[in-house]
């Protein structure tokens, strides 16, 4: 049988998600993975996740309603579900929206521990088929880079969380009793060097390690359905898709390349910048949402000063105990060159947000935490400037992206998709997978196997 789009990767994946290919479009924050992006991909049979991170819950609710009506619940789409260590109650509120809206799939990411909200989403409505096989109503695709977190997602939901949810009436006795019959996630997608949050591990090392971990876990829990392993990070060419599958991935996921498509919820200016990116045009910067713990994001470097400015903010944060301790000359440099407004204005805006979202947290802030909140404002602001395409502020654009984008630009140079305006997400996925199949066929032929 010739290799084709339909038989690249796991057949069970296609069955479980109602997808036409073992290819996933990862969620991109603040609706960059827009309703339109998810709709077009899902209509073509590609599993795609709406970028709910950083959006108000009302906006997510509206997106869910829009996707439930078109492409509808049977199509392969879901919502990105980010761990929220700062405001844990928001995870619960998001689960309420997802369950009420009939969302059957989430892409769980940034988790450092398993939370009650995640377990409730997974177990609500869990039943069994006629043969006694567990039939989860909701599926979880977990995106991880650390084996210990991968192990948690490959295990059944933790007993103590299940008991607590049962006792608080948030799970039924039947749902709680069935919990030990399924792993927390159906799929664990290994995130290597990628756009956005990344600890930049190489796929060559990560994918085989996770495939072995999955095989070990299958031995430890022989009665549970087998968890699939996916590959994300650095995939922007047919050769990369083929390599990920040869390393043992059951499916592949892309992110960066989908940001440079007509459907992505960002500005044309950003898409023009991305379409010109070369392999050396990326840099690491602190992550705004996890600023205090020093987490990093990969961003586009060419044409913006964001990475340099954000790294400077992090250095100032590390070396001072409070904003009042920062020398006046440095503060005025920040106000004029980075924030474009006074620190007092930034604080006023930040405080107003938190007074509404988490008033009790606001009262307990230490001076250092207050400084972190002021600096974090820049990360929200710089992302907004890029998304809105404020060309005069290009130096502050924060554009999450990884070198997969450059590989994609090189691959498509001189083709009908050279101009991003033609790179519709479904067309891009079709071509990527069709050519990946050709790459594999060719390699087998090179080795004298066809
Ligand atoms: C602009 C952008 C925003 C992203 N936002 C999120 C997000 O909110 N949640 C998430 O789980 N992953 C996010 N990611 C990661 C992608 O879903 C995907 O895992 C990653 O981009 C794959 O690696 P690649 O960029 O090398 O293709 C983002 C990636 C990009 C490029």
Three-point CA angle 217, 218, 221, nearest 5°? 85
Give the nearest ligand 1 atom to 234 CA.
26
Task: Tell me how far the alpha carbon of residue 107 lies from the centroid of ligand 1, in angstroms.
Answer: 11
- Quote the ligand 1 centre to 200 CA distance (angstroms): 13
Strands 196-197 and 228-232, by their bridges, are: unpaired
Distance in Å, CA 372 to ligand 1 centroid: 24
Pocket test for ligand 1, best of 63, 83, 195, 290 (most atoms within 8 A of CB): 195
Cα of 28 from ligand 1 centre, angstroms: 5
- Same domain membership, residue 188 and residue 87: yes
Structural domain count, the chain? 2
With vertex at residue 296, the alpha carbon angle to CA 335 and CA 233, rounded to the nearest 5 degrees, is 135
* 266, 286, 319 - which closes a domain: 266
- Cα separation of 215 and 228, whole Å? 10
Tell me: do 38 and 183 sit in the same domain: yes
Q: Is residue 59 part of a domain?
A: yes
Atom of ligand 1 nearest to the CA of 403: 26
Residues 280, 260, single domain; the answer is no
Ligand 1, atom 10, lies closest to the CA of 27
Residue 443 lies in a domain: no
Kindly report the pTM of this predicted structure. 0.96
Determine if ligand 1 sits within 6 Å of the CB of residue 80: yes
CA 61 – CA 64 distance, rounded (Å): 5
Asked whether 400 lines ligand 1 (CB < 6 A), one says yes
**Ligand 1 centroid distance, CA of 196 (Å):** 5
Distance 29 CA to ligand 1 centre (A): 8
Is 403 within the bounds of a domain? Answer: no
Torsion-angle region of 156 (φ positive above 0: left; ψ -120 to 50: alpha; else: beta): beta
Same domain for 371 and 282? Answer: yes
Cβ proximity of 204 and 247 under 8 Å: yes
Q: Who's near 132: CB < 8 A, 6+ residues apart?
A: none
CB atoms closer than 10 angstroms to residue 377: 19
pLDDT in the model for residue 354: 82
Q: Specify if 336 maps to a domain.
A: yes
Residues 184 and 332 occupy one common structural domain? no
CA distance 421 to 407: 18
Q: How far is the CA of 132 from the centre of ligand 1 (A)?
A: 37
**In terms of domains, do 240 and 281 share one?**
no
Name the residue of 23, 194, 235 to mutate for ligand 1: max ligand atoms within 8 A of Cβ.
194
Q: What is the mean pLDDT of each run of 10 residues along the chain (450 residues)?
A: 90 96 98 98 98 96 98 98 88 98 97 96 94 93 97 98 98 96 98 96 97 98 96 98 98 98 98 98 95 93 97 96 96 94 94 83 88 95 97 97 98 98 98 97 88
In a domain? residue 337: yes
Instruction: Using the 3D structure, point to which of 249, 266, 283 is the last residue of a domain.
Output: 266
Q: What is the CATH number of the domain that holds 80?
A: 3.20.20.70
The reply to whether 197 and 136 lie within a common domain is yes
157 and 283 housed in the same domain = no
The answer to whether residues 119 and 257 belong to one domain is yes
Beta bridge partners of 110: none
381 CB less than 6 Å from ligand 1?
no
Any domain includes 426: no
CA distance 394 to 269: 9
For residue 425, is it within any domain?
no
Q: How far is the CA of 288 from the centre of ligand 1 (A)?
A: 15
Closest CA to 171 of 239, 123, 225: 123
Give the structural domain span for 371: 270-396
Task: Clarify whether residues 261 and 291 are in a common domain.
Answer: no
- The residue whose CB lies within 8 Å of the most ligand 1 atoms, and thus the one to mutate among 28, 34, 266, is 28
Using the atom order of ligand 1, give the atom closest to the CA of residue 25.
17
My answer on whether 73 and 166 are in the same domain is yes
Cα(219) to centroid(ligand 1), Å: 32
Are 200 and 289 in the same domain? no
**Ligand 1 in contact with 78 (CB < 6 A)?**
no
Distance 163 CA to ligand 1 centre (A): 34
Measured distance CA(376)–CA(371) in Å, rounded: 9
Q: Are 379 and 291 spatial neighbours (Cβ–Cβ below 8 Å)?
A: yes
- Last residue in a domain, options 209, 241, 266: 266
- Domain-embedded: residue 45: yes
Report strand pairing: 127-128 vs 187-191.
unpaired
The closest residue, in CA terms, to atom 11 on ligand 1 is 109
256 CB near ligand 1 (under 6 Å)? yes
Ligand 1 lined by 404 (C-beta under 6 Å): yes
């Amino acid at each position: 049988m010739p290799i084709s789009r339909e038989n690249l990767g796991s057949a069970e994946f296609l069955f479980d998600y109602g997808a036409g290919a073992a290819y996933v479009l990862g969620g991109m924050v603040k609706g960059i993975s827009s309703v339109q992006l998810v709709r077009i991909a899902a209509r073509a049979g590609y599993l795609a996740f709406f970028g709910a991170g950083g959006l108000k819950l009302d906006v997510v609710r509206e997106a869910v309603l829009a996707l439930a009506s078109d492409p509808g619940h049977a199509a392969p789409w879901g919502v990105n579900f980010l761990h929220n260590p700062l405001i844990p109650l928001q995870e619960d509120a998001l689960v309420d929206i997802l369950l009420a809206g009939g969302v059957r799939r989430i892409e769980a990411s940034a988790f450092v521990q398993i939370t009650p909200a995640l377990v409730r989403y997974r177990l609500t409505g869990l039943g069994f088929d006629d043969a006694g096989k567990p039939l989860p109503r909701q599926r979880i695709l977990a995106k991880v880079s650390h084996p210990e977190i991968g192990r948690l997602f490959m295990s059944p939901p933790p007993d103590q969380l299940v008991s607590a949810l049962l006792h608080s009436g948030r799970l039924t006795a039947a749902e709680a009793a069935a919990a030990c019959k399924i792993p927390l996630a159906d799929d664990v997608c290994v995130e290597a060097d990628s756009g956005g949050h990344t600890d930049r591990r190489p796929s060559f090392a990560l994918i085989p390690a996770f495939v072995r971990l999955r095989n070990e876990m299958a031995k430890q829990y022989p009665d549970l359905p087998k968890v699939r392993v996916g590959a994300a990070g650095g995939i922007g060419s047919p050769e990369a898709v083929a390599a990920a599958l040869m390393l043992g991935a059951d499916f592949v996921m892309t992110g960066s390349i989908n940001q440079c498509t007509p459907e992505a919820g960002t500005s044309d200016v950003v898409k023009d910048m991305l379409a010109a990116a070369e392999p050396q045009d990326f840099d690491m910067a602190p992550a705004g949402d996890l600023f205090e713990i020093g987490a990093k994001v990969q961003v586009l470097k060419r044409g913006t000063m964001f990475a340099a400015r954000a790294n400077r903010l992090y250095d100032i944060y590390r070396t001072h105990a409070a904003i009042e301790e920062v020398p006046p000359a440095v503060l005025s440099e920040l106000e004029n060159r980075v924030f474009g407004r006074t620190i007092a204005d930034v604080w006023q805006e930040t405080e107003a947000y938190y007074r509404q979202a988490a008033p009790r947290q606001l009262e307990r802030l230490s001076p250092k935490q207050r400084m972190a909140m002021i600096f974090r404002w820049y990360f929200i602001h710089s992302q907004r400037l890029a998304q809105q395409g404020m060309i005069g502020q290009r130096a502050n654009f924060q554009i999450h992206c990884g070198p997969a984008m450059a590989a994609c630009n090189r691959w498509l140079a001189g083709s009908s998709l050279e101009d991003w305006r033609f790179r519709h997400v479904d067309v891009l996925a079709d071509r990527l997978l069709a050519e990946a199949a050709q790459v594999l066929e060719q390699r087998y032929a090179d080795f004298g196997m066809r």
